[in-house]
C-alpha cells in the first residue's frame, strides 16, 4: 500500500555557496595515499558541522527526488523504484521516526558507516555525505552489516534491496545489498568517509569493511567491490552531482569522488600509464572563410583513454580541444595556414604529430573586418561576490553592462563575469556590429553547451563553452546603426559559465563596386523551401550559403534571376554571400 503524507512547507535560509573552481588544485599531480591525505585536507577545511538535528532540513536540498518521479518527495535508496511506481513515499517535514513495524511507516537518518564504528562521535554522526534519509524499517534491517552482494536473501525490501549471506570473494558474513541504481552512490559515500576521517580510521572498529589502518582504511575485498560499484555498476550521474553541490552548500565540503571519479583508482588501484595514444591521421583543413578554417581528423586510440588534442598552427601550439574536430577562428584573409595535431592522455603521454594539412583563407571583401567597436575585460565588476544576483557595472568603454543570475568572484584571463541561467546585456552602440569574439569556460561541475548571441532581438549565432578555456568568434554578423546585444539561452541547466575578453568590430559598410551589387534581392525571407535570387541584370554571380558556424552548405553560379531549392537545409539562420566581379555583399537568411 502506498502511503501519502501531507507536506509541510519549510521556509529555510539557504546560502548560495558553490564548490570553487580551484577546490582541488592542491591535489594536482598527486597519487596513492599522498593524494588521499591531501584530499582529506581539502574536504576538512571549511567543513562546518551542522549538528544531528539539522539533517532533516538539509535533506530538502540534497535528497529530493528530481530524477525519477520528480515530485518533490524524499529520495530513499532502499525504497526508490527507478523504473516504476514507488511502493510508498515520504514528504519532507512529516512522518519522521518514531516507531515502525513495517516498511512505509516512517523515515529516519541512516549512517552508511554505522555509528557503532565511531562511537557516535561528531562530526561523523552528523555528516550529510554519509548520513542519508532512509525508511525506518529498512534501516533497521540493514543495521550495522557491511555492504556486499547477497547469495541467499533473508529479507528483501519492496524495491529489491536485500540482506543475506555474502557472495563477495573475501567476506563470508551477512551483508546488505542495495539495488544497482544506488550502489555507486553508497560506494562513494564510504570512500568519502575513509578520506575525510583518515586521521582516526585506525581507531574505528565494529564495521567489517574497515581494516584498522589510516592509509588503506578498507579491507581488500571492500576496495575491490566498492571500486566496481563506483566505476562499472553505477557511475556518477547528474542528480548526484547536484546533491554534492547542495551538500557543499549545506556543510561547506564536497565528496571528491563525485567531482573526480578518477581519484578512487588513483588512491586504491594506481597504475602507471606510460603508453602514448596513437598518432592522429587523416587531418584535413577545409571550408575556409575570410577568418576561419575547419579541421577534421581520425580519432586516436589509447590503452586507457584519449584525453584531448593539441592543435598546432604553422608549427606553433595554438589551442586544445577534446574532440577530433575544430574550427580555427581569428585568422587573416587571403593567408595560407598549415596545421598538425597531437593526441594526449590523462597521464600526460603525447602522441606524435599527425599529417600536415594546409588551407588558405578567402579574401572576398566580406563585411565584418571593421575597427574595434567595443572591448571589455570585466575588470570593473566591483566587489567580488560568490552569490548569484543581478550585476550592473560600467565597462571599460564607459557603457553600462548588466548580467542576471551572475556572480563576480571568478577569474579566467583576469576577472570574469560568471552567468548561470541568466543573460549578459551589452551597452547599446551606434556603430553596428561586424563580428564578435569572446572567451568562455564552464566552472564547477556540469557539461558543455551554448549561449545564444542576439542582436536587436534576432539570434545571429551561438557561443560555445566547456570545461576548458576557448575563444569563440562569430563572423559576418553585419548589422548597421544602433545595436543592442544580449547573450542568453542557458536556461534549464545548472552550468556556470565565465565570460572574459569580449570584443566586437563595427559594421564597416558594403562594397558596391561597378555592378551596383546592392540591387540583388532575395525573397521570400524567411524562406521555407524555394529562394528566389533576383539579379535585376544578366551579370555572372556566385551565390554561397554558410551555416551559423561558417561552414559552406551551398555554392552556385548564376547569370540571371534564379530559384534555389533549400528544402534540405535545417531550420536556422544562414549567411548568404553574393559575389559579382570584385564586389561582395552578405545577407542574413532565416530558414523556417
Architecture of domain 372-505: Sandwich (2.60)
Segments of the chain assigned to CATH 2.60.40.3080: 513-591
The verdict on domain 513-591 having CATH code 3.40.50.720 is: no
- Report the candidate in 227, 277, 236, 275 with the shortest Cα–Cα distance to residue 259: 236
Q: How far apart are CA 175 and CA 156, in angstroms?
A: 12
Where residue 334 falls (left for φ over 0; alpha for ψ -120 to 50; beta otherwise) is left
Q: What beta strand segments (E) does 157-255 contain?
A: 162-166, 174-177
Which DSSP category does 414 fall into? Answer: S
| Beta strand pairing call for 521-523 and 449-455 | unpaired
The verdict on domain 281-360 having CATH code 2.60.40.2300 is: no
Angle at 128 between CA 125 and CA 132, to 5 degrees: 90
Segments of the chain assigned to CATH 2.60.40.10: 281-360
The single residue listed with the C-alpha cell 599522498 is: 34
Enter the pTM of the model.
0.50
Segments of the chain assigned to CATH 2.60.120.260: 372-505
Q: What is the pLDDT along the chain (592 residues), one digit of tens a residue?
A: 233 333 333 333 334 457 998 999 999 888 899 999 999 999 999 999 999 999 999 999 999 998 899 999 999 999 999 999 999 999 998 889 978 999 999 999 999 999 999 999 999 999 999 999 999 999 999 999 999 999 999 999 999 999 999 999 999 999 999 999 999 999 999 999 999 999 999 988 889 999 999 999 999 999 999 999 999 999 999 999 999 999 999 999 999 999 999 999 999 988 767 889 999 999 999 988 878 899 999 999 988 778 889 999 988 888 888 889 998 887 777 788 899 999 998 777 899 999 999 988 886 544 364 566 788 999 999 899 999 999 999 988 778 999 999 999 999 988 999 999 999 999 988 778 888 999 999 999 888 889 999 999 999 989 999 999 998 888 888 888 889 999 998 877 889 999 999 999 887 653 333 345 666 778 887 888 888 888 766 677 888 888 766 677 888 888 788 888 888 888 887 888 888 776 677 777 788 7
Amino acid at each position: 500500500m502506498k502511503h501519502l503524507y501531507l507536506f509541510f512547507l519549510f521556509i529555510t535560509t539557504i546560502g548560495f555557496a558553490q564548490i570553487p573552481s580551484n577546490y582541488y588544485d592542491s591535489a594536482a599531480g598527486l597519487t596513492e595515499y599522498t593524494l588521499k591525505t591531501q584530499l582529506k585536507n581539502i574536504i576538512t577545511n571549511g567543513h562546518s558541522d551542522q549538528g544531528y538535528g539539522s539533517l532533516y532540513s538539509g535533506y530538502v536540498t540534497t535528497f529530493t527526488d528530481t530524477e525519477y518521479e520528480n515530485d518533490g518527495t524524499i529520495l530513499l535508496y532502499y525504497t526508490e523504484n527507478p523504473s516504476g511506481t514507488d511502493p510508498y513515499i515520504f514528504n519532507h517535514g512529516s512522518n519522521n521516526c518514531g516507531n515502525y513495524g513495517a516498511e512505509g511507516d516512517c523515515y529516519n537518518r541512516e549512517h552508511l558507516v554505522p555509528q557503532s564504528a565511531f562511537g557516535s562521535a561528531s562530526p561523523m554522526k552528523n555528516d550529510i555525505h554519509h548520513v542519508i534519509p532512509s525508511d525506518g524499517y529498512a534501516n533497521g534491517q540493514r543495521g550495522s552489516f557491511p555492504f556486499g552482494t547477497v547469495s541467499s536473501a533473508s529479507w528483501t525490501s519492496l524495491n529489491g534491496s536485500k540482506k543475506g549471506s555474502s557472495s563477495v570473494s573475501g567476506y563470508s558474513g551477512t551483508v546488505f545489498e542495495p539495488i544497482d541504481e544506488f550502489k555507486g552512490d553508497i560506494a562513494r559515500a564510504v570512500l568519502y568517509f575513509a578520506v575525510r576521517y583518515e586521521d582516526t580510521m585506525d581507531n574505528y572498529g565494529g564495521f567489517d569493511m574497515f581494516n584498522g589502518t589510516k592509509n588503506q582504511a578498507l579491507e581488500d575485498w571492500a576496495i575491490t567491490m566498492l571500486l566496481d560499484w563506483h566505476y562499472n555498476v553505477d557511475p556518477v550521474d547528474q542528480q548526484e552531482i547536484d546533491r554534492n553541490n547542495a551538500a557543499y552548500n549545506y556543510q561547506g565540503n564536497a565528496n571528491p569522488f563525485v567531482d573526480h571519479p578518477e581519484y578512487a583508482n588513483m588512491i586504491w588501484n594506481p597504475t602507471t600509464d606510460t603508453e602514448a595514444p596513437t598518432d592522429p591521421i587523416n587531418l584535413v583543413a577545409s571550408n575556409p572563410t575570410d577568418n576561419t578554417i575547419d579541421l577534421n581528423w581520425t580519432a586516436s586510440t589509447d590503452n586507457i583513454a584519449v584525453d584531448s588534442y593539441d592543435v598546432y598552427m604553422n608549427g606553433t601550439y595554438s589551442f586544445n580541444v577534446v574532440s577530433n574536430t575544430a574550427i580555427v577562428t581569428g585568422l587573416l584573409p587571403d593567408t595560407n595556414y598549415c596545421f598538425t595535431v597531437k593526441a594526449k592522455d590523462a597521464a600526460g603521454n603525447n602522441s606524435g604529430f599527425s599529417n600536415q594539412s594546409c588551407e588558405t583563407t578567402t579574401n572576398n571583401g566580406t563585411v565584418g573586418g571593421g575597427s574595434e567597436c567595443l572591448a571589455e575585460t570585466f575588470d570593473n565588476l566591483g566587489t567580488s561576490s560568490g552569490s548569484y544576483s543581478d550585476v550592473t557595472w560600467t565597462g571599460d568603454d564607459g557603457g553600462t553592462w548588466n548580467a542576471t543570475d551572475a556572480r563576480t568572484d571568478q577569474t579566467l584571463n583576469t576577472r570574469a563575469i560568471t552567468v548561470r541561467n541568466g543573460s549578459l546585456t551589452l551597452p547599446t552602440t551606434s556603430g553596428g556590429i561586424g563580428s564578435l569574439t569572446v572567451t568562455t569556460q564552464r566552472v564547477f561541475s556540469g557539461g558543455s553547451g551554448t549561449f545564444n548571441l542576439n542582436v536587436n532581438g534576432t539570434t545571429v549565432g551561438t557561443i560555445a563553452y566547456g570545461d576548458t578555456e576557448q575563444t569563440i568568434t562569430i563572423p559576418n554578423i553585419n548589422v548597421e546603426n544602433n545595436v543592442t546585444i544580449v547573450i542568453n539561452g542557458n536556461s534549464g541547466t545548472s552550468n556556470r559559465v565565465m565570460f572574459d575578453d569580449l570584443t566586437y568590430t563595427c559594421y564597416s559598410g558594403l562594397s558596391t563596386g561597378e555592378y551596383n551589387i546592392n540591387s540583388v534581392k532575395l525573397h521570400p525571407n524567411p524562406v521555407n523551401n524555394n529562394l528566389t535570387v533576383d539579379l535585376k541584370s544578366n551579370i555572372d554571380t556566385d551565390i554561397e550559403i554558410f551555416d551559423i558556424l561558417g561552414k559552406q552548405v551551398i555554392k552556385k553560379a548564376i547569370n540571371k534571376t534564379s530559384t534555389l531549392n533549400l528544402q534540405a537545409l535545417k531550420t536556422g539562420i544562414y549567411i548568404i554571400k553574393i559575389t559579382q566581379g570584385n564586389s561582395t555583399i552578405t545577407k542574413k537568411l532565416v530558414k523556417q
